[in-house]
Structure 1
Amino acid sequence: MWILWLIAALCVIYYVIIAVYSGLTTSFSVIWLVFAAVCVLFGIGWDAYMRHKDKVPLWLPVSVVTVCCTAVLVFTVVEILVFTGVTVRDTSRLDYVIVLGARVKETGISKSLKKRLDKAMEYLDENPGTILVLSGAQGDDEPVSEAEAMRDYLVFNGVREEQLILEMRSHSTVENIAYSRVAIEEDQEKKKARNQKNPVFMDPGTFELVPDKPIKIGVLTSDFHVFRAQQIAKKWGIPDIYGISCESDPILFVHFCVRECAAILKDKLVGNM
C-alpha cells in the first residue's frame, strides 16, 4: 500500500530533521526509524497478502489491524489527556514553583530549557514573592547540572539568587518532584527556625491564633509535559499542585508528543502516577 511507503519516508525525513536540528540521534528519536521499518514491513506484508489472500488465514490480518487500531486509539486518548486534562486554574501568588530541568549542552542551555526559564522570569515579574525551585542534576553528557545552568541564566537576566533554590540530585521527572518537595520542606523549616529566633511579642487579647496557611506549589514545564508532572506530583506527596506551561519547540513538537505518550504509559505501569 502506497500510504505505508509514504509514512515510512516521512518518518525517515523527520528523523533526519531531528538529528540535524537538535542532535538527538542517540535518544528516543530512533523511534522514528523503528516506525519507518514497521511501515516498510507492513507494506511488504500487505503486498504479499494481496497476492496470496486465499492462503492467509483471516485471523492474521484481523489481528494486525486490531493491534494497529488499538495503538492509535491509546495514543489519541493519551494526547487528549495531555492537552485537555489539565484544569485551568489561577496560578498567581504561588509560594513555590518547581522549574523542571532539560538538557544542557556544551554550548549552553537547550531551546526547551530556555523557553521554560523565560516563562519562569515572566511569572516572577508578575509574582515577585514566589520562590523558584530549579530541579535537575548533571547528566553524563552535560557540562554542569541543569539546576546550576538554570540559576546562571536567571541571575544573568536579573533574578535575585535569594529567590532561587537549587535541587541537583534528580535525573527523572519523578526525582524532580520528589527531591523538590524535600527542598521545599527544608526551606520551610529554615524559615520557621528564623521566626523562632526573632519572635514578635504582642499583648494578650490583641491577636488570635489561626492555622498555618497551606503553601501553594506549582510546577513549570513544557506544555506537553505538564500533565505527567502534575500526576506524578499528586502521587508523590503534592496533591494540590498547580501547572504552569510554556510553549514547546514547534519542530520537535510531534517527537515530544510521541515520547511523552510512551513516558506516561511507562510511569502509569510502574506506579509513578
Structure 2
Amino acid sequence: MNILTAIWLVSAILSLLYGFLIFSTGSGSSFFLVWFLVSGFFAFCSFLSFQHRWSHTPGVFRLCFLLPVGTGAAVLALCSILVLTVFPDRGEEELDCVIVLGCQVRPDGEPSRSLRSRLDTAAAYLKKNPDTAVIVSGGQGSNEPCAEAEAMAAYLEACGIEGGRIRLESLSSTTAENLRYSFRLCRPSDDRIGIVTSNYHLYRSLFIAKRLGGNHICGIAAPSLPLYLPNNMLREILALLHSFLTRG
C-alpha cells in the first residue's frame, strides 16, 4: 500500500467515525449522513489508488472527475475563509440592541450547550452595556418543549439581566426568519445592532441581516466546541451557499 492510498483510507475511516460521533449527540439532525458520504468518497479514492486504476483511466473521465471535485474543494476553502474571518468579532460598545439567535432547547426546557454559549456571551455584553436592549429570537421546534425565545429569556433573567430589557421573538424557524421577525422589534435602518450567535454561524447571519436592511450591524461571536466545529462548519458552508443563491 502506497502513502496516497493510506491517506485516502485513513481519511475514510476518520470520516466514518466522525459521522457516528455526530450521530451520537442526538441533535435530531440527519446531517451526520453527509460524513458517511464523505467517507464513501475517500474510500473510493483509496480503491482507485490501491488498484492503480487512476493511471489507466481515460483522460476525459479523469477530467470529468477532477473538475467538479476541484471546484467543490475551492468553493469550500473560500467559504471557510469567509466564515473564519468573523470568529474574533466582539461587537461595538453601547449598541442600541443585540439580537441573540436561538438554537436547540433540551427536552427539560434548558438551553443546549450551544445556546448557553450564545446566551453567556450576550449576558456578558449586556452587563458591560446596561443601556443596550436584547432581542431573543427563536420559535418552538418539533422536538422542543417550548419556544427557544422563552427559554432564552428565562436564562438571561437568571443571569441577572432585567426582564424589561428583554424582547421576545418566538415565531421564527430559520436564520432568515430570526432576523426578519426580530427587525420588527427594533429599527434596523437606524439602530446600531449586534448579532450574537455561534462563531461558525455569524458570517451568514451578518450577510442575511445586511440584506434585510440592517444599516449598522456588527457581530458578537460566541465560542463553540472545537470537536464539533468541522461538522458545524461544513453544514454552515452549505447553508451559506444556499443564502448566496437564494433569498433565504
TM-score, normalisation: structure 1: 0.83
Letter in 2 for 1:249: L
Letter in 1 for 2:156: L
1:246 is aligned to: 222
- Which residue of 2 is the match for residue 174 of structure 1? 176
- Relative to 1, partners in 2 of residues 1:38 and 1:24: Cα closer, same or farther, differing over 3 Å? farther
* CA drift at 1:253: 0.9
Measure, in 2, the Cα distance between the counterparts of 1:90 and 1:47.
51
Query: Which of structures 1 and 2 has the bigger CA Rg?
Result: 1
Distance 1:116 1:88, change over 3 A: closer
Aligned to 2:135: 133
Cα deviation, residue 240, structure 1 = 2.3
Partner residue, 2:14: 10
Distance 1:52 1:97, change over 3 A: closer
> Which residue type is aligned with residue 64 of structure 2?
S
Partner of 1:32: 35
Q: Secondary structure at the match of 1:263?
A: helix
Residue 97 of structure 1 aligns with which residue? 98
CA distance in structure 1 between the partners assigned to 2:33 and 2:81 by the alignment:
24
String of CA shifts for 1:161-194, please: whole Å, max 9, x gaps. Answer: 1010000011011001100001224xx9xxxxxx
Cα distance change on mapping 1:39 and 1:163 into 2, 3 Å: same
Determine the structure 1 residue equivalent to 2:209: 233
Q: Distance in 2 between matches of 1:97 and 1:51?
A: 56
* 1:267 is the counterpart of 2:243: yes
Secondary structure class of the residue paired with 2:47? helix
d(CA) in 2 for partners of 1:90, 1:16 = 36
Alpha carbons of 1:86 and 1:118: their partners in 2 closer, same or farther (altered >3 Å)?
closer
In 1: Cα distance, 2:202 partner to 2:112 partner: 18
| Matched residue type, 2:70 | C
Does the Cα contact within 8 Å between 1:136 and 1:147 map onto a contact in 2?
A: yes
Cα drift, residue 90 of structure 1: 5.5
The structure-2 alpha-carbon separation of the partners of 1:117 and 1:60, relative to structure 1 and needing over 3 Å to count, comes to same
Kindly state the Cα deviation for residue 65 of structure 1 after the two structures are TM-superposed.
Answer: 2.2
Cα separation, partners in 2 of 1:142 and 1:58, compared to 1, 3 Å = same
Q: Distance in 2 between matches of 1:62 and 1:270?
A: 30
Structure 1 segments (4+ residues) deviating >4 Å: 51-54, 85-90
* 1:176 to 1:251, Cα distance in 2 relative to 1, 3 A: same
Per-residue CA deviations over 1:11-30 (Å, capped at 9, x if unaligned) read 1111222233x213643122
Aligned in 2, Cα 1:35/1:87: closer, same or farther, shift over 3 Å? closer
In structure 1, the residue matched to 2:26 is 23
**Aligned partner of 1:12: which letter?**
L
- Distance in 1 (CA, whole Å) between partners of 2:198 and 2:227 is 14
CA distance in 1, matches of 2:233, 2:55: 37
Deviations, residues 107-159 of structure 1 (Å, cap 9, x unaligned): 32111100000001100111011111000000001111110010111112221
5+ long unaligned stretches in structure 1: 189-212
Preserved contact between residue 12 and residue 40 of structure 2 (Cα < 8 Å): yes
Residues 111 and 249, structure 1, Cα contact 8 Å, conserved in 2: no
CA displacement, residues 21-76 of structure 1 (integer Å, 9 cap, x when unaligned): x213643122111111222233334445x25844x321112321232222111111
Instruction: Determine what percentage of the aligned residue pairs are the same residue.
Output: 33
In the alignment, what sits opposite 1:84? 85
Query: Residues 133 and 25 of structure 1: is their aligned pair in 2 closer, same or farther, counting only changes over 3 Å?
Result: closer
Conserved? CA contact 2:197–2:221, under 8 Å:
yes
Task: Point out the more displaced range, 111-120 or 85-94.
Answer: 85-94
Report the 3-state secondary structure (helix = DSSP H, G, I; strand = E; otherwise coil) of the residue aligned with 1:115.
helix
> Where does residue 143 of structure 1 map in the other structure?
145
Structure 1 window deviating more from structure 2 (39-48 vs 98-107): it is 39-48
Q: State how far apart, in whole Å, the 1-side matches of 2:86 and 2:113 are.
A: 25
Where does residue 106 of structure 1 map in the other structure?
A: 107
CA RMSD of aligned residues (A): 2.2
Deviates more, 1:171-180 or 1:25-34: 25-34
